[in-house]
Amino acid sequence: MDYVKVPMIIWEYTTPQVLTMEYVPGIKINKIQAIDQLGLDRQRLGRYAVESYLEQILSHGFFHADPHPGNIAVDDVNGGRLIFYDFGMMGSISPNIREGLLETFYGVYEKDPDKVLQAMIQMGVLVPTGDMTAVRRTALFFLNSFEERLAAQRKEKELATAELGFKKPLSKEEKIMKKKERLAAIGEDLLAIAADQPFRFPATFTFVVRAFSVLDGIGKGLDPRFDITEIAKPYALELLKFREAGVEEQGDLKLRVRALESERAFQRVATVQKTVGNAVAAGSLINLATILYINSIRVPAIVAYVFCAFFGLQVLIGLIKVKRFDERERLITGTA
């Protein structure tokens, strides 16, 4: 993603106790006036924030769990990009939950309550009870409500575009009354669900919901017309294309991880080989210098000793680098 910047880790100054990162200045994402002064598109920044989280959660299963405005900044690189800070609180989603979230996405898109419920069971969110009829009816009700909401939003946009404001918008009280009527329509089903208590939400969901709640607030601050569902829709369609084409994002991620692991291993082997070569050179030179010195050939002996010292220093540097490679690997794999 060229619109996301994560400060690089400076491994030379990083230990198991101290994390040293690149300094990347930026403007807090809620500093609207400063963002406008840079000439950045606020609507696009809001979309970037949501898309970056959809990518983190659904594609990688590893996400920044504390996205408040103090931890997200922007700059004018590439026409505006996000900068993430403070990675002390990260969330991870197990493969079965990530796959379940994707299946939920597909079920909502296809308006299939059975697929949504099956995905929730797969994630461990829903515990099957003896009679799932009430749960299924409730799921179908919310799917219909979601579709109606999207249709209403599309209609509002069309009316605004055509400047046909002949229909009086609902007041706050009318909206509350309409919501009560909808809930009354499934009141018995909700009571049945409350009695069975079939839902068990994993702790990770707290971080996911919190992250998107904060992002929704940030997005509305950037753009009053911000709608997280409209932004997520193209991403969901893209996921559907991948699914229909049989592309496994998880497999692609594994390949990228393996490539990074191979690259790290190659760098370590190259450093070890160079260090061994320097050690051989230093050993040969010290033998040569000693022979020359014993035979009173002083000047060449001194030159040989100087070169020996140089290669000896390279050996020391190489050993330090190998040690840092090992420490970095332990940090990455969590065996530190």
Q: Which helix (H) or strand (E) holds 187?
A: helix 187-196
Long-range own/partner contacts, residues 204-210 (CB < 8 A, 24 or more apart): 204/91, 204/92, 204/93, 204/94, 204/97, 205/125, 207/63, 207/65, 207/89, 207/91, 208/57, 208/63, 208/91, 208/93, 210/65
Pick the catalytic residue from 66, 189, 196, 216.
66
| CA dist., res. 215 & res. 50, Å (int) | 7
* 185 token code pair: 């329509």
Q: Report which of 236, 195, 200, 204 is spatially closest to residue 121, judged by C-alpha positions.
A: 200
Q: Identify the residue whose tokens are 């996205």.
A: 67
Helix H or strand E segment including 318 = helix 298-333
Angle ∠(4,10,14) on CA atoms, nearest 5: 125
Alpha-carbon distance of 248 to 154, in angstroms, equals 32
Quick one: DSSP state of residue 65? S
For residue 300, the surrounding DSSP H or E stretch is: helix 298-333
Q: Which stretch of DSSP H or E encloses residue 135?
A: helix 133-162
Find all residues with CB under 8 Å of 167, minimum gap 6, and list them: 159
Q: How many CB atoms lie within 10 A of CB 43?
A: 14
* Count of residues making up the chain: 336
Write phi, then psi, for 48 (nearest 5 degrees): -60, -40
66 is catalytic: yes
Q: How far apart are CA 283 and CA 276, in angstroms?
A: 10
What residues are annotated to the active site? 66
